[in-house]
Amino acid sequence: MASTSSQPQQINVTDLDLPQLADVRRQLEEELSHLSNSFAQLRQAQAKFRACIDNVGQVKPENKDKTILVPLTNSLYVPGKLSDHENVIVDVGTGYYVKKSRAQAAKHYESKVEYIRTNLEALQETIQKKQDNMNYLVNVMQMKLQEQAGKTAKA
Amino acid sequence: QERNPRGIPKAPFIADVDEYLGPTPDVETALKEFQAALAKYRYMDHNLAQRRRGLEEKIPDIKKTLSMVEFLQERREGKSSTDAGDDDLTDDDDLDDEDAEGPKKPLQTTFELNDTLYAEAELEDTDTVYLWLGANVMLSYKIPAAISLLGSKLEAAEASLQTVVEDLEFLREQITIMEVNTARVYNWDVKRRRELREKE
């Protein structure tokens, strides 16, 4: 029973009886849902960064003298104009805000998007493996069920 | 049955279980009624707790917006009084201290474009502000109207918060009373059954 939780294929899963198999399956399902949640959250974060890239694109010289509604608080907007159309301020984390040029800011967000993409791929692989594990487990469970049904029929 | 100002029924405290249940004590029904009342109280408690959380979030927001609008108004009043002052006073040292850069001083601010993205903008001099009222509705208001609207919203929210807190306290008491009643009736019933058994 030592390493049943991670690699059922290596241990003789066929030796586990039904309740134990059900336990392992429940555990796998929990892990799977947790991983899928994380996957969804990463996707969301990636979408937000893509939106930031768009926004940076809108702070451009063509929009320089157009009137915009500037948010001052959550529900207060005041008409104004973009004063600085070459630079934006990016929150780089841990309380630091850096004034970058538009090109630098776009690069910054693009690298974030890329980083998340690689993480998403790794996560996708892990999810796939867990899914395979669970399928195998379910097969074994069904086999056992049939065996048991056969035995009780005979007895 | 008594009710509190917001229509929440008061729970009766059963001082004498015998008297409450009467000659034919129907303990099961009584207990079921108590459980039903308790469930209603708890449901109301949950709702009020949610409302309170929402209000506690909204109120600081409204305060911030109100103080921003008041600040904008002060700036406008400061500027228009310098313009008037230039005509009347030759010696406007006080006003110069406030508006050292002359009558036209647009406000520079950094505003939020996105969660991690800010940009710089110049606020125009205008007598109109736009307020987001929620539900995809935004209206423009002249600054004095905005100030009075925000002021009344803030008052209403604070009054609401107060009543919700009062109601929550009241509900706490009623829930305790009901739980005590349930316990007393149950204990009384146990005692009665024991007495009946001993008689036999």
For B156-183, the pLDDT digits (tens) are 999 999 999 999 999 999 999 999 999 9
The CATH code that applies to domain A18-58+88-142 is 1.10.287.370
Structural domain of residue B60, as residue ranges? 28-74+142-191
What is the CATH number for B167?
1.10.287
- Mean pLDDT across B47-61: 95
Query: B42 lies in a domain?
Result: yes
For the stretch A60-85, pLDDT in tens is 767 777 888 888 888 899 888 888 88
pLDDT of residue B81: 65
pLDDT of residue B122: 86
Query: B90 lies in a domain?
Result: no
Cα angle at B153 between A72 and B129, to 5 degrees? Answer: 35
Grouping H, G, I as helix, E, B as strand and the rest as coil, residue B16 is coil
Q: How many domains does chain B have?
A: 1
- Which residues have C-beta within 8 Å of that of residue B64, sequence separation ≥ 6? A73, A74
Query: B153 lies in a domain?
Result: yes
C-beta atoms of B130 and A79 within 8 A: yes
pLDDT of residue B91: 45
pLDDT of residue B98: 43
- Which residues have C-beta within 8 Å of that of residue B83, sequence separation ≥ 6? B103
Chain A residues touching residue B120 (CB < 8 angstroms): 82-84, 87, 89
Give the residue, B99 or A27, on which the prediction is more confident: A27
Give the residue, B98 or B135, on which the prediction is more confident: B135
Specify which residues A111 forms β-bridges with: none
Q: What is the mean pLDDT of chain A?
A: 85
Query: B122 lies in a domain?
Result: no
Strands B137-142 and A87-93: unpaired
- Tell me, yes or no, if A97 comes closer than 8 A to chain B by beta carbon: yes
For the stretch B4-39, pLDDT in tens is 778 888 888 888 888 888 888 788 888 899 999 999
Instruction: Quote the minimal CA–CA distance from A74 to chain B in Å.
Output: 7
C-beta atoms of B119 and A69 within 8 A: no
